[in-house]
Structure 1
Amino acid sequence: MTLFRDLIDRVLSHEGGYVNHPNDPGGETKFGIAKRSYPAVDIKALTRDEAVAIYERDFWQRVQGDKLPRALAFQALDAAVNHGIGNSVRWMQRAAGVADDGVIGPATLAAVGRADPADLVLQFNAERLEFYAKLQTFDTFGRGWARRVAGNLRYAAQDN
């Protein structure tokens, strides 16, 4: 089993089924796949397997999950799904102490490789929590977001 296949169920446990919440800027969503990001996808008819294929192609590969320590790989994937690739990569870079240019290159991968994975996860999630707190929709969704990060920290403890 690939690392991605081992971790994707965690992401899907956060995302759930079909939702069309009026305050969600992503609009209609299923398995975390939003109509705003995928306008050509019939969200209501989207299958789990189709969502997993999207996650692998558009998120996992772009955060270079196979090149990251397991604990950080999951955090990067989950944040990319929830906040976008650019935010996830910049938080990873800040956690690793390199320029946060949003591009995973040799310097980022080397810094991540040298760092303690537990430290990376803690720094990464601190960035993530600060980001959540600045969002206008925090009053509506903040409690769920905080639970998501708490769950992710529990996963990190298992992964280290």
Structure 2
Amino acid sequence: MAKDNFKTALAFTLAYEGGWSNHPADPGHATMCGVTLTTYRLYHPGATATQLRNAPMAHFEAIYRKGYWDKIGADALPAGVDALAFDIAVNMGPGRVLPWLAKTAALKPTERIKALHGLRMGFWRRLRTWATFGKGWSRRETACLALALKMAGVK
């Protein structure tokens, strides 16, 4: 279905995940390119925060491909749904988006994208960190929704 969309989705997500972060209010703590130290250690046991911070981009691409894109079956998803689901998986974990994908499976791609968008925004708004991160999350989701709809062929 959407086998060629990984690089497009990854480029979008990396633009929002950015570089190094260790915000005290972020439950992920030490994070580089959106990959937490805990996740990085699954692929590179014993790695330190400094090693995470200095890791080559190829490490992050491999983690995102195997641990997120492949884990949610994005290659089998319709164009647009794949990119949005991937971004949700990166931001919230594959375990959060998989039930949402199942719940929305019967919908047409554009309706599915809108439903996933609503589920994500609803989840974020209920978090106690919404006051700190909500504005940035909303900007990210608005851009991700636009990308997903464009990829799905909506003009």
Match of 1:136 among 122, 128, 132: 128
Distance in 1 (alpha carbons) for counterparts of 2:23 and 2:69: 26
Aligned to 1:11: 13
Higher RCO (CA < 8 A, seq sep 6+): 2
Contact 2:74–2:86 under 8 Å retained in 1: yes
Task: State whether structure 2 residue 75 is matched by structure 1 residue 73.
Answer: no
Match runs of 1:1-160 below 5 Å: 2-39=4-41, 40-41=46-47, 42-96=51-105, 111=106, 115-160=107-152
- AA aligned to 2:141 is V
**Once the two structures are superposed, what CA deviation does each residue of 1:111-130 show, in whole Å capped at 9, x if it has no partner?**
3xxx3110000001100001
SS of match in other structure, 2:20: coil
Contact 1:15 1:31 in 2 (8 A): yes
* RMSD of aligned Cα (Å): 1.5
Give structure 2 stretches of 5+ with no counterpart: none
**Runs of 4+ off more than 6 Å:** none
1:74 Cα offset (Å): 0.5
Structure 1: where are the runs of 5+ without partners? 97-110
8 Å CA contact 2:80, 2:109 repeated in 1 = yes
Alpha carbons of structure 1 residues 86 and 152: separation in structure 2 relative to 1, 3 Å? same
Give deviations 1:75-95, integer Å, cap 9, x for gaps.
111000000111111122222
| TM-score, structure 2 as length reference | 0.86
Q: TM-score, normalised by structure 1?
A: 0.84
**CA separation in 2, counterparts of 1:141 and 1:46?**
26
Deviation at 1:5, TM superposition (A): 2.1
Number of residue pairs the alignment of both structures matches: 143
Which deviates more from structure 2 when the two are superposed, residues 86-95 or residues 75-84? 86-95
- C-alpha distance in structure 2 between counterparts of 1:15 and 1:153, whole Å: 16
